[in-house]
Structures are given as C-alpha cells and as structure tokens.
Amino acid sequence: MFAVPENTVTRAENPLLRHPVRTALEFAADRERWRNLLRYDPDERYAALLERDAGQEVWLLSWLPGQHTGLHDHGESTGAFTVVSGQLTETVTRRAPDGRVLTELHTPATGQSRVFGPGYVHEVRNEGPDPAISVHVYRSGGRTLRGYHLDPLTGPVPS
Ligand SMILES: [Fe+2]
C-alpha cells in the first residue's frame, strides 16, 4: 500500500468546460445511446432529447429530404451540431458592419460540425436525397428557437 497525497487526486471533469463540438461528437459516436430514439416524421424534422442537465441539452435530430428549420437563432444559447449521416446544408445570414447583407452556405460532411452563439442566424436543411441525422448541443439557454425572416435590404429580422 502507498499513500496518495490529496493534491494528486484528479477532480471529475466538468462537462461544461468541454467544447460543445467534442460533446456532440461523443454523442454522435455512441449510436447505442440513441438508435432507438430515431424517428422520421413526414411533417417536420424530428427532435429527441438525449440529455438535459443544469448546463446543457443534447438533442438528436432526424431529417427527411427537404425538411428544414426555417431561419432562426438560438437566443442566448451557444453550442454546436454535428452531422451523423446524410447531407445537411447550413445557410448563415448576417448584416456586415458596412450594412451589406451577407449569406454564407456551409455543407458540413458526415462527422463535421458547426458552432453557434448569440446573434447567429441560420437555417439548416436536408437537401440530400436520403434521410439525415444530426446531434445538437445547446448551452446557457437550452434549445431556444426564435424565428426570423430575411429582409434583402436590412438582413435577418425577428418574425
Ligand atoms: Fe439552429
């Protein structure tokens, strides 16, 4: 036997100090955890809560071809999403400091992630021919969705 000095004992990791992409990737890889929660709803993308605690929510989303979020932000939440399978397209819209309305298109491949935070207005869409799956992590406000519409002159406007 030997004595372990108290100051050498590692504290349990605080999951909120882990980058949200890392959390999303860990959940995405753990199919046993969510495969029974997969549903495809013909009316809209399907969302299943995987985990909720005081600091974060983790959701599984399943998308049929053509299903989309509409333009939205997540209030004060920050987080990330990871594409598990299928082809999701993210359109990010913002007004630049010089007043121009900018729209960026991102097509994260399977296993790739996107991050978001307050003021980040985007739309996610399954434009592929097959169903898609993604894992989403939301912190500091949960899965808040606030709708926007796009004014071509002034940029995204809350609906
Ligand atoms: Fe979103």
Distance 10 CA to ligand 1 centre (A): 36
Distance 122 CA to ligand 1 centre (A): 6
Per-residue pLDDT at 58 exceeds 90: yes
Residue 2 has pLDDT above 80, yes or no: no
Q: 127: pLDDT confidence band, cut at 50, 70 and 90?
A: very high
Distance from residue 121's CA to the centre of ligand 1 (Å): 8
Per the CB < 8 A criterion, the answer to whether 148 and 118 are in contact is no
12 belongs to a structural domain = no
Q: Measured in angstroms, how far is the CA atom of residue 101 from the centroid of ligand 1?
A: 19
Residue 20 φ then ψ, to 5°: -60, -30
Answer whether residue 45 is part of any domain: yes
Element of type H or E holding 114: strand 113-116
> Rounded mean pLDDT of the chain?
94
Give me ligand 1 centre to Cα 154, in Å: 21
Quote the ligand 1 centre to 4 CA distance (angstroms).
47
- Does 116 reside within a domain? yes
pLDDT of 43 over the 80 cut:
yes
Average pLDDT on 90-107 reads 95
Give the pLDDT confidence score for residue 13 in this predicted structure: 78
Expressed in angstroms and rounded, the spacing between residue 72 Cα and the centre of ligand 1 is: 6
> What is the structure's pLDDT at 12?
76
Prediction pTM value: 0.90
- Ligand 1 centroid–CA 136 distance in Å is 9
Strands 78-85 and 132-139: antiparallel
Whether residue 2 lies inside any domain: the answer is: no
Whether the CB-CB separation of 118 and 75 falls below 8 Å is answered with yes
Question: So what's the pLDDT on residue 63?
Answer: 98
Residue 94 to residues 79, 132, 150: CA-CA distances in angstroms?
Answer: 18, 26, 9
> Is residue 113 one of the residues assigned to a domain?
yes
Q: What is the mean pLDDT of residues 144-159?
A: 93
Q: Which residue segment(s) compose the domain that 84 sits in?
A: 19-158
Closest CA to 120 of 65, 81, 83, 152: 81
Least confident of 12-21, 61-70, 107-116, 133-142: 12-21
How many angstroms is it from 95 CA to the middle of ligand 1?
Answer: 18
Query: Does 30 map to a domain?
Result: yes
What is the CA(150)–ligand 1 centre distance, in A?
Answer: 15
pLDDT score for 81: 98
Give me the CATH number covering residue 83: 2.60.120.10
* Total domains in the fold of the chain: 1
Q: What is the pLDDT of residue 26?
A: 97
